[in-house]
């Protein structure tokens, strides 16, 4: 039996008449009987069209850091919407939001607002190329930087067993429709393999514009960088005059207030932010320090966007970041996340299921295998079938993780102690069901 109740099914049938496969983003399609239609969200909960309530650990793949429909964010957004949103001129709310952003992420000297993660990684890549006069970009296997052509290679959705030798990695194209010429401009490497990065730079460092990296693998089990990896990337970029881009779309305002830069103590030239900075509203930023970000100049390197810095988006960002600046939301998330990680490892340990809890409390994953993974290639050993069976059994009991283990559990500050306890009870029942 699928996840859809009768009303949800009715709405999904209706959705399919207008939206391709009934969705607006490919990752939301779970097949004919399991794709849900959501009526609303509040705090840590979402409700489907049949009135089933779920504790939400997907949170739109990360953005909803405070909880769905946070009242302060909603009020700021309503006020901004009524004041007019789009002027093709700088507006007061935008200046205030940029100042608040910099208070939270002090390494950033300048930024430009935009709307989505895809847009800002695209801008960062162009900026790096324009600044260095070079074309090649390095990315890591299992990382996702959005849907533009330049970064759709060796993403975590593909096969971890078809990536070639780590000495000569094969960039796996993640979609049809990407021009063949683009492939020549990307180099894909295993995450955490500093030697591979050094080898590549020794042979072609002079033509590499940038390394773009999710400082932890937010799209692949939340895998963490090994000691020395991020400082090594910083050193190599400095040595070869390449730009270091931290894609903080998932880690920004979640891993720490100042994102991965604060958490790991390594400072990139450019950072890309979206998701948690707007609690679910479409707001993003390409940010940086020094001459690289300042190279955005008319007639030199282009950046633009009709909706960039619109009143609603920046009002959402300011209200969200103001709340995060109190320190309370991330402290709450840390505590709830620790309890969940400990509880989950306890349940799996008691049943003798080989596992590793990866990531951090604010975004952690459950990896089901003996060997701890350090990169995307290692994830081939994960028991995806058992993981999905546990996830589906949880959803049927009102707790909603992503059933593809690549995507971490995301936590929001609205999660109560009772929600955490319920989650652990449900997890235990789901494991029992999936292994019976």
Residues with catalytic roles: 144, 247, 275
Nearer to ligand PMP, 23 or 389 (CB): 23
Nearer to ligand PMP, 61 or 221 (CB): 61
For residue 114, the minimal CB distance to ligand PMP (Å) is 10
Nearer to ligand PMP, 146 or 171 (CB): 146
CB proximity list for 261: less than 8 A, separation 6 or greater: 105, 107, 215, 246, 248, 267, 268, 271
Q: Is 116 in the site for ligand PMP (CB under 6 A)?
A: yes
> Cα–chain-centroid distance for residue 170?
24
Nearer to ligand PMP, 8 or 219 (CB): 219
For residue 297, the minimal CB distance to ligand PMP (Å) is 25
Length of the chain in residues, anyone? 436
Nearer to ligand PMP, 271 or 311 (CB): 271
Residue of 105, 111, 175, 115 whose CA lies nearest to 147 = 175
Binding segment toward ligand PMP, per CB under 6 A, in 144-152, 175-183, 361-369, 378-386: 144-152
Number of residues that bind ligand PMP (CB under 6 A): 15
Q: Which member of 76, 91, 114, 118 binds ligand PMP (CB under 6 A)?
A: 118
Q: Which member of 105, 274, 317, 413 binds ligand PMP (CB under 6 A)?
A: 274
For residue 115, the minimal CB distance to ligand PMP (Å) is 8
For residue 214, the minimal CB distance to ligand PMP (Å) is 5
Residue of 216, 266, 236, 245 whose CA lies nearest to 374 = 216
- Share of the chain residues as helix, strand and coil, in percent rounded to the nearest 5: 40, 15, 40
Provide the 8-state DSSP code for 212: E
First CA to last CA across the chain, in angstroms? 18
Q: Which member of 93, 123, 250, 355 binds ligand PMP (CB under 6 A)?
A: 250
Q: Is 121 in the site for ligand PMP (CB under 6 A)?
A: yes
Residue of 324, 431, 420 whose CA lies nearest to 57 = 420
Q: Which two tokens stand for residue 380?
A: 């081939």
Distance CA 23, CA 46 (A): 17
For residue 230, the minimal CB distance to ligand PMP (Å) is 15
Q: Which member of 54, 144, 153, 263 binds ligand PMP (CB under 6 A)?
A: 144
Q: Is 146 in the site for ligand PMP (CB under 6 A)?
A: yes
Tell me the residue number closest to ligand PMP, measured at CB. Answer: 117
For residue 247, the minimal CB distance to ligand PMP (Å) is 5
- CB-based contact 157:377 (threshold 8 Å): no
Nearer to ligand PMP, 274 or 424 (CB): 274
Distance CA 11, CA 16 (A): 9
Q: Is 254 in the site for ligand PMP (CB under 6 A)?
A: no
For residue 249, the minimal CB distance to ligand PMP (Å) is 3
Q: Is 61 in the site for ligand PMP (CB under 6 A)?
A: yes
Q: Is 141 in the site for ligand PMP (CB under 6 A)?
A: no
- CB-based contact 216:207 (threshold 8 Å): no
Three-state secondary structure call for residue 27: helix
Q: Is 320 in the site for ligand PMP (CB under 6 A)?
A: no
Binding-site string for ligand PMP from residue 191 to residue 230, where x marks contact by CB under 6 A and - marks none: -----------------------x---xx-----------
CA gyration radius, the chain: 21
Beta bridge partners of 46: 41, 54
- CB-based contact 279:70 (threshold 8 Å): yes
Q: Where are the alpha helices (DSSP H) in 158-271?
A: 180-183, 194-204, 229-240, 259-264
- CB-based contact 327:257 (threshold 8 Å): yes
Provide the 8-state DSSP code for 372: P
For residue 6, the minimal CB distance to ligand PMP (Å) is 32
Q: Return residues touching ligand PMP (CB under 6 A).
A: 61, 116-118, 121, 144-146, 214, 218-219, 247, 249-250, 274
């Amino acid at each position: 039996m699928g996840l859809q109740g009768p009303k949800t099914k009715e709405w999904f049938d209706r959705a399919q008449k207008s939206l391709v496969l009934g969705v607006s983003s490919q990752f939301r399609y779970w097949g004919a009987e399991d794709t849900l239609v959501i009526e609303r969200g509040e705090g840590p909960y979402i409700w489907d069209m049949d009135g089933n309530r779920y504790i939400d650990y997907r949170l739109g793949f990360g953005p909803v850091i405070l909880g769905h429909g946070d009242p302060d964010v909603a009020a700021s957004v309503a006020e901004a919407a009524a004041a007019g949103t789009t002027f093709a001129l700088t507006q007061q709310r935008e200046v205030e939001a940029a100042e608040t952003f910099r208070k939270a992420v002090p390494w950033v000297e300048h930024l430009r607002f935009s709307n989505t993660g895809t847009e800002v990684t695209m801008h960062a890549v162009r900026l790096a190329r324009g600044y260095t006069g070079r074309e090649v970009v390095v990315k890591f296997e299992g990382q996702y930087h959005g849907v533009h052509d330049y970064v759709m290679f060796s993403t975590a959705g593909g096969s971890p067993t078809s990536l070639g030798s780590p000495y000569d990695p094969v960039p796996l194209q993640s979609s049809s429709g990407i021009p063949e010429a683009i492939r020549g401009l990307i180099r894909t490497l295993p995450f955490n393999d500093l030697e591979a990065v050094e080898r590549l730079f020794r042979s072609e460092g002079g033509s590499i514009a940038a390394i773009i990296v999710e400082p932890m693998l937010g799209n692949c089990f939340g895998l963490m960088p090994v000691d020395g990896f991020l400082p090594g990337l910083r050193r190599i970029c400095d040595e070869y005059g390449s730009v270091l881009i931290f894609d903080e779309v998932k880690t920004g305002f979640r891993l720490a207030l100042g994102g991965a830069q604060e958490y790991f103590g390594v400072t990139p030239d450019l950072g890309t932010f979206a998701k948690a900075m707007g609690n679910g509203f479409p707001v993003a930023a390409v940010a940086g320090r020094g001459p690289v970000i300042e190279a955005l100049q008319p007639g030199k390197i282009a950046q633009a966007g009709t909706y960039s810095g619109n009143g609603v988006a920046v009002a959402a960002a300011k209200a969200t970041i103001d709340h995060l600046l109190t320190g309370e939301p991330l402290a709450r998330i840390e505590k709830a996340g620790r309890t969940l990680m400990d509880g989950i490892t306890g349940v799996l340990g008691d049943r003798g299921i080989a596992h590793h809890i990866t990531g951090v409390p604010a975004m952690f994953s459950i990896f089901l295998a003996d060997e701890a993974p350090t990169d995307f290639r290692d994830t081939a050993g994960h028991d995806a079938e058992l993981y999905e069976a546990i996830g589906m059994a949880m959803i049927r009991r009102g707790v909603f993780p992503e059933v593809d283990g690549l995507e971490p559990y995301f936590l929001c500050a609205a999660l109560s102690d009772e929600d955490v306890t319920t989650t652990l009870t449900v997890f235990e029942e789901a494991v029992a069901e999936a292994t019976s």
